[in-house]
Structure 1
């Protein structure tokens, strides 16, 4: 076998590189990569590419993504998620009709400002490295497309929603911008990627299960 495309359900606390390293060593492939980073705090579908399949990374990264997310209103953090430092807290005037209206306003093509703590390069350096070094980072807005956004549950101060979007869309930015529009601030409390194009997380392998399948082992290619 010269290639393997392996959908993995990434556990919380693991970086995407952690998953790649674990599978590279456990399955004995020389070339292993992934097709789209997930933050350590996020869970869900991570497409792992082994052997000759690593040349197809761009093909998978172009596909749309689907997420289930939880936004926490009334809290502002420097990373736009709960992994960051809290820089402000505000009272939340809870109005479910207004929350739903503001969330739905993100559907379509929008101009989105990525989080300062992200992997985007500024002058050759990752923006998260600059932000963590104390540098002021203000990334320019860029166009992204939100195909659909549906509320699953609202339980003050949390809003759970499902979103299908184009590549390059930051769900952290959606949570932040929702809070800004409501005047109380917001941040991302939880994130799970449920699909990449037609590939769904329900068809993914856990790390332990994938490592136990002899047919997934490579030939060090």
Structure 2
């Protein structure tokens, strides 16, 4: 019997996916990729299986610019359960210590304030960070503790939404590389009782929010055209950069890897979103490396017109 391989589509764009609970980031990515039959895809920042929320998925040429989302600030809504410390820092782990919760809301607010701003965090053992080529969580599952260096992160704000005497619901805005599990644990230690996360949901990244996201069940109900409508254009990933449009002569030179004349000073901004003036097609990024010239830095696979 002859077997036919499904032909992959050339899909370029960004899907704002609402990752469900109980699914790994890679599992959600592969599910979305199958729905779109996309030849190439990648996500922009891991969410644990027990975390849900915003997971931008980049298809095709968008993967070239995904690092801008990896480096972006994030926002989360989380529930911190005080009085219990677990092996993983969240509800997935086993409880390894229990202590009395003996503080009030005023003490909680004071503790939260101490963790706002620039702080140092020690990455958790249950993380995907690598040590000698192996993820830390692999060592943790084998009962091996690895020394980790503290990392400096920024907690822009922590908003207390509710507190029932045992659990607190928080909104957190933070820089890349922040571990919310560690933040919850550290607040619990500061209050003398320990803590772990009982819920975590990413609500925003780089200005994108859950309001514009799609769930996997919703995508499954759509046809191909409907799914494609959910995709954002590739250049949304670099929307924070200024733009520059090229005329036809410069367009041809630029897409052949040559620098073009540029009348803006590098001191203003070293990188620009570059477009073809005639069609408004996004071409990629240009970089000012010396005064008066814009060099191709990262390009879309756009064919040069004859």
TM-score w.r.t. length of structure 1? 0.95
Mapped to 1, the partners of 2:146 and 2:34 lie a distance apart of 36
Write out per-residue CA displacement over residues 168-219 of structure 1, whole angstroms, 9 at most, x where no aligned residue.
000000110011111111111100100001100111001122342423469x
Match of residue 183 from structure 1: 192
> Which of 122, 125, 134 is equivalent to 1:113?
122
Kindly indicate whether the alpha-carbon contact (under 8 Å) linking 1:116 and 1:138 is maintained by their aligned counterparts in 2. no
Kindly indicate whether the alpha-carbon contact (under 8 Å) linking 1:146 and 1:164 is maintained by their aligned counterparts in 2. yes
1:168 matched to 2:177: yes
SS at match of 1:119: coil
1:3 matched to 2:7: no
Match of residue 153 from structure 1: 162
1:49 matched to 2:49: no
Write out per-residue CA displacement over residues 59-97 of structure 1, whole angstroms, 9 at most, x where no aligned residue.
111110000011000001111111011111111103111
SS at match of 1:82: coil
Mapped to 2, the partners of 1:87 and 1:67 lie a distance apart of 26
Write out per-residue CA displacement over residues 17-48 of structure 1, whole angstroms, 9 at most, x where no aligned residue.
11111111121001111001111011110000
Mapped to 1, the partners of 2:125 and 2:28 lie a distance apart of 24
Mapped to 1, the partners of 2:74 and 2:127 lie a distance apart of 18
Mapped to 2, the partners of 1:22 and 1:124 lie a distance apart of 27
Kindly indicate whether the alpha-carbon contact (under 8 Å) linking 1:61 and 1:167 is maintained by their aligned counterparts in 2. yes
Match of residue 77 from structure 1: 86
Count of aligned pairs: 219
TM-score w.r.t. length of structure 2? 0.69
Match of residue 130 from structure 1: 139
Match of residue 40 from structure 2: 31
SS at match of 1:39: coil
Q: Tell me which stretches of 4 or more aligned residues in structure 1 moved more than 4 Å.
A: none
Mapped to 2, the partners of 1:2 and 1:95 lie a distance apart of 53
Kindly indicate whether the alpha-carbon contact (under 8 Å) linking 1:76 and 1:185 is maintained by their aligned counterparts in 2. yes
Match of residue 200 from structure 1: 209
> Which of 224, 242, 247 is equivalent to 1:214?
224
Please state how far the C-alpha of 1:156 moved relative to its aligned partner.
Answer: 2.1
SS at match of 1:140: coil
Question: Structure 1: any 5+ residue segments left out of the alignment?
Answer: none
1:68 matched to 2:86: no
User: Which deviates the most, 164-173 or 85-94?
Assistant: 85-94
Mapped to 1, the partners of 2:95 and 2:52 lie a distance apart of 22
> Which of 150, 153, 165 is equivalent to 1:144?
153
Match of residue 92 from structure 1: 101
Structure number with greater Rg is: 2
Q: Which has the higher contact order (CA 8 A, sep 6+)?
A: 1
Question: Structure 2: any 5+ residue segments left out of the alignment?
Answer: 1-9, 232-300, 302-306
